[in-house]
């Protein structure tokens, strides 16, 4: 890292990791409630920055207890065997202005794949207690089957109960350490 790099810790109280996936004829939305991460941010050279992010898979919450229990089983996340979902950045490329492609390795359900998150830098601010904060929004669409999340049910009229594509959105506010 360059000398202009500063470490920021993700503020879970002001951040979220959410997703949506097609179910029958609508979309189901959910979130992960327990996560942590750090950003090594170089304000002068954002392309030299890096991100590490870890989600506790068991913290999945779709506002439906029975569905959440099923999602924690071996049919989906198998949280006893694979308790975390991790992302480690490899490189950052500026798209335009404050928008970037963040390339990294996502490990979920024991499978590691390179993915690209589109990221928008939302700015920086000083909080009421004097802490320096930065904010980012990131999105990607993943195919859940790429990570071994294959469970599905065939519908009587044709097609499947659960879609393969999952839209992931991460809103992060982080505080300088």
List the pLDDT tens digit at each of the 177 positions of the chain: 446 899 999 999 999 999 998 876 678 899 999 999 999 999 999 999 999 999 999 999 999 999 899 999 998 899 999 999 999 999 999 999 999 999 999 999 999 999 999 999 999 999 999 999 999 999 999 998 999 887 665 555 555 567 788 999 999 999 999
CATH number of the domain within which 17 lies:
2.40.128.110
Q: Which of 57, 51, 4 is nearest to 35 (CA)?
A: 57
Number of structural domains, the chain? 1
- What DSSP element (H or E) covers 71? helix 65-72
pLDDT of residue 2: 45
Of 72, 87, 75, the closest CA to residue 149 belongs to 75
CB-based contact 160:138 (threshold 8 Å): no
Identify the three-state secondary structure at position 7: strand
What does the DSSP 8-state code read for residue 154?
B
Which tokens in the block code for residue 93?
């490329």
Half-sphere exposure of 151 (CA within 13 A, CB side): 11
pTM for the model: 0.89
Q: Which of 50, 34, 135, 120 is nearest to 85 (CA)?
A: 34
Domain span including residue 42? 5-176
């Amino acid at each position: 890292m360059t000398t202009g790099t500063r470490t920021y810790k993700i503020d879970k109280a002001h951040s979220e990791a959410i997703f949506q996936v097609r179910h029958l004829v609508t979309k189901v939305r959910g979130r992960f409630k327990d996560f942590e991460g750090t950003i090594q941010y170089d304000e002068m050279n954002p392309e030299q920055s890096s991100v590490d992010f870890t989600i506790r898979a068991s913290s999945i919450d779709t506002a439906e207890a029975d569905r959440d229990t099923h999602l924690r089983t071996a049919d989906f996340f198998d949280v006893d065997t694979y308790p975390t979902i991790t992302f480690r950045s490899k490189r950052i490329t500026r798209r335009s202005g404050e928008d970037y492609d963040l390339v990294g390795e996502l490990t979920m359900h024991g499978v590691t794949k390179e993915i690209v998150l589109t990221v928008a830098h939302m700015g920086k601010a000083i909080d009421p207690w004097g802490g320096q904060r930065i904010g980012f929004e990131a999105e990607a669409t993943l195919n859940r089957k790429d990570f071994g999340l294959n469970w599905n049910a065939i519908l009587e009229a044709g097609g499947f109960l659960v879609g393969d594509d999952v839209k992931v959105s991460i809103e992060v506010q982080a505080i300088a350490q």
